[in-house]
Amino acid sequence: MLSPSSYKVLEGRFARLTVLRDAAAVLQWDMATMMPEGGSEARGEQLATLKVMSHEILTDPALADDLGRAESETGLDAWQQANLREMRRAWLHAASVPGDLVEALSKAVSRCEVQWRRARAENDFAGLRPALEEVLNLVRQQATIKAERLGLSIYDALLDEYEPGLRTPAIDRIFDDYAAFLPGFLKKVVERQAKNPPLAPLTGPFPAADQHKLALRLMTALGFDFDHGRLDTSHHPFCGGVPDDVRITTRWNESDVTQGMMGVVHETGHALYERGLPRRGHYQPVGQARGMAIHESQSLLVEMQVCRSPEFIRFLAPLLGETFGASPAWEGEDLTRRLSRVKPGLIRVDADEVTYPAHVILRYRLERALIGGSLVLSDLPGAWNDGMRSLLGIVPPDDSDGCLQDIHWPGGAWGYFPCYTLGAMMAAQLYAAAARAIPDLPKLIERGDFAPLFAWLRRHVHEKGSALSAEQIIAEATGRPLDPEIFKNHLARRYLGEVLAA
């Protein structure tokens, strides 16, 4: 009997690795939605054990040997070669990090996430700070090790985990350009919208149970498969689980139905991407999401490009009336204006698409400073408030609506935030390309027929998995590299009814 090739051996190793990570993902979803607080210590041990086991697979010397032999094999097709490239990338990120550091960071993150929920509810940054300091120090240690191995800066080593190949100079160019564009553009939009008549009031309360029913209808219309996923409630909206069992969450505001609803459609975009990933590579690196910028492009395409469009709102208005009763807030142009209202606000996940990038730019600048050591954690609340004042002209009244609002840093996700705004720019470019390919797309959306759009996205984005880079996916799907001007022109058309000068 012939021995399996080194490549086939690697496929088996990475399949086991994927299963372990999938198990951890479901446990993390449970921790955020169902787990009683008293279970946090045991859950921390479970997650740490799974992460150490995953790390041991990647750092096994035999895996490195198999990589070397597989890379000299002939007869591998393009898909297998891409998979081998992604295997080596995963190995490079893991090989130099000691297992005890992986375990320590996993446990610290589990503790910090639980404390964050309490700290945000109680506006207690000082109470969270020791746990967050531990997470930051361990993230910095891990990033320092990876940076040396990868030949990158410490922050770029973190970026590379979430968006392969992304580097700070590229982010700085895009973000500095948008930060310069925003004040003048925002002023024009706010002045224009101020001339509109007042919006009809939202006459709540809107019971969470009714909002949940409406959310299920919207998810079904968009194409969410409830045989392979579910919707729950959490402190912070997210999409988790695995491609065959996608778990999304939102939070409800009984005085404003739009907040939870937009959280749901955003996370549904993530879920549809996960469900659309190629079955051939389901348990292999090449079959997994390319990176978080592409991931965010799919959620923001659904939330911002589709679900805040006038066409979608005409589809949505009758559903709101059926769920909550007739209201002037659902009639005429009121709902369109409500969902396209631009106003600087404190909370990132509730921000309009004009000001949303400012929230991301702030977090990017702060986390770079914290990782680099030019900002200490005790000064974060003040630095946050200064940044909000500079970028959006508002200051949070407390830390709950300031530096405590996101779970990302307590959850160990340092280097993630830039993906949101890059994703928004990718979303605008992808939607424009889809609209060219599907000339009647606005009419289809108004009828609630989203199948042609998602068929296009599956073919051009989802089914690529990680076989291509994010840059290649965007260029092949749209005919050009990522161009931030497309995003700015989308904003100008939607909010000012004009096209920006070239």
Domain spans, the chain: 6-162, 190-353+422-496
Task: Based on DSSP, count helices (H) and strands (E) in the chain, helices before strands.
Answer: 20, 3
Burial of 319 (0-12, 13-18, 19+ CB in 10 A): middle
What is 190-353+422-496's CATH topology?
Neurolysin; domain 3 (1.10.1370)
Of 267, 303, 311, 367, which is the active-site residue? 267
- pTM score, whole prediction: 0.94
Cβ partners under 8 Å of residue 452, min gap 6: 438, 441, 444
Burial of 320 (0-12, 13-18, 19+ CB in 10 A): buried
Could you read off the pLDDT tens digit of each residue along the chain, which spans 502 residues? 446 799 999 999 999 999 999 999 999 999 999 999 899 999 999 999 999 999 999 999 999 999 999 999 999 999 999 999 999 999 999 998 999 999 999 999 999 999 999 999 999 999 999 999 999 999 999 999 999 999 999 999 999 999 999 999 999 999 999 999 999 999 999 999 999 999 988 888 999 999 999 999 999 999 999 999 999 999 889 999 999 999 999 999 999 999 999 999 999 999 999 999 998 888 999 999 999 999 999 999 999 999 999 999 999 999 999 999 999 999 878 999 999 999 999 999 889 999 999 999 999 999 999 999 999 999 999 999 999 999 999 999 999 999 999 999 999 999 999 999 999 999 999 999 999 999 999 999 999 999 999 999 999 999 999 999 999 999 999 999 999 999 999 999 999 998 775 5
- Catalytic status, residue 267: yes
